[in-house]
Amino acid sequence: MATLVPLVTEKRGLTGKGVNRQLRNKGAIPAVLYGRGLEPLPLSVDPKALKTAVSGPLGLNTLLELSIQEGGQPLDKRTALLKDYQIHPIKRSYVHADFVAVDITKQIKVRVPIEVTGRAIGVVDGGILQIIRRDIGIACLPTEIPHSITIDVTPLKIGASIHVGEVTLPAGIKTTDLANNTVATCVAPQVEKVAVAEVAAVEGAEGAVPAEGAEGAAPAEGAEGAAPAEGAKAAAEKPEKKGKDKK
């Protein structure tokens, strides 16, 4: 069973940009708690305490026990998850947080990271392993959320894939993703093809070997040193017929 991580929050009476700015100047950040059948409750929380609370192996899937106070006095307690947050673009610190209340007796939907183990057979044969999905959607009780889902890619051959429906999940956990979604695949290495134009350019380059049948080919007709055409030799040797001399 997962351990609840305590986190102290303060109920806010006022909301708005000006109030939120003053709140941040005092070292706190605005937050909201919502859930099924629960009116959104404005809160404030220490950003450093929030970061510490969700820095464990479960990350955003860490079950939080929110101690809600008002004026420093205990008001209520709620089990919740950090559903969403905003980060300062430069300081990289939390500037806003959204909590969602959960019932530990009912299943919830979350996403957990995928941990790949083993060396694919296809990789040994020269293939390339491609991880298509880094996390997987699951449905389970809040107290049974795993740190990660382990997938062994050792049997993966070149051209083969592992799909969501083939992933082994712990007892009591079901996937919310489509069964035919690809998780990992092993592909053959791509061989770059030489362009035909490049081959032609190489064949026509200076010093290239002539094509078959080109060796010893006669020069073009009319070129210097070219052999005369058939019948031209005989015509050249025949004496020119002259007219009769006048007496």
Q: Which of 17-31, 86-100, 136-150, 155-169 has the lowest mean pLDDT?
A: 17-31
pLDDT of 217 = 46
Q: Does the structure show a pLDDT above 80 at 24?
A: yes
Examine the pLDDT at 246 and tell me if it is beyond 80: no
Enumerate the β-bridge partners of residue 96. 86
pLDDT at residue number 182: 97
223 falls in which pLDDT band (50, 70, 90)? very low
Residue 22 pLDDT exceeds 80: yes
Helix (H), strand (E) at residue 92:
none
Alpha-carbon distance of 32 to 41, in angstroms, equals: 6
Q: 18 falls in which pLDDT band (50, 70, 90)?
A: confident
* Residue with token string 């859930």: 35
Q: How far apart are CA 26 and CA 23, in angstroms?
A: 5
pLDDT at 10 exceeding the cut of 60: yes
More confident residue, 60 or 227: 60
Dist CA 28 CA 9 (whole Å): 10
- pLDDT averaged over the chain? 83
Structural contact between residues 186 and 156, judged by C-beta atoms closer than 8 angstroms: yes
> What is residue 144's three-state secondary structure?
helix
- Read off the pLDDT of residues 61-106 as tens digits, 9 standing for 90 and up: 999 999 999 988 999 999 999 999 999 999 899 999 999 999 999 9
The DSSP code sequence of 154-222 is TTPPTT-EEEGGG----TT-EE-S-TT-EEEEEEPPPPPPPPHHHHHHHHTSTTPPPPTT-TTPPPPTT
CA distance 31 to 183: 35
CA neighbours closer than 13 Å in the CB half-sphere of residue 195: 3
Distances from the Cα of 197 to the Cα of 40, 201, 204, 212, angstroms: 67, 6, 11, 20
Strand partners of residue 26: none
Query: What global pTM score does this model have?
Result: 0.71
Q: In this predicted model, which residue has the larger pLDDT, 191 or 69?
A: 69
pLDDT at position 29: 95
User: Are the C-beta atoms of 149 and 86 separated by less than 8 Å?
Assistant: no
User: Which ranges of 32-102 would DSSP assign to H, the alpha helix?
Assistant: 47-53
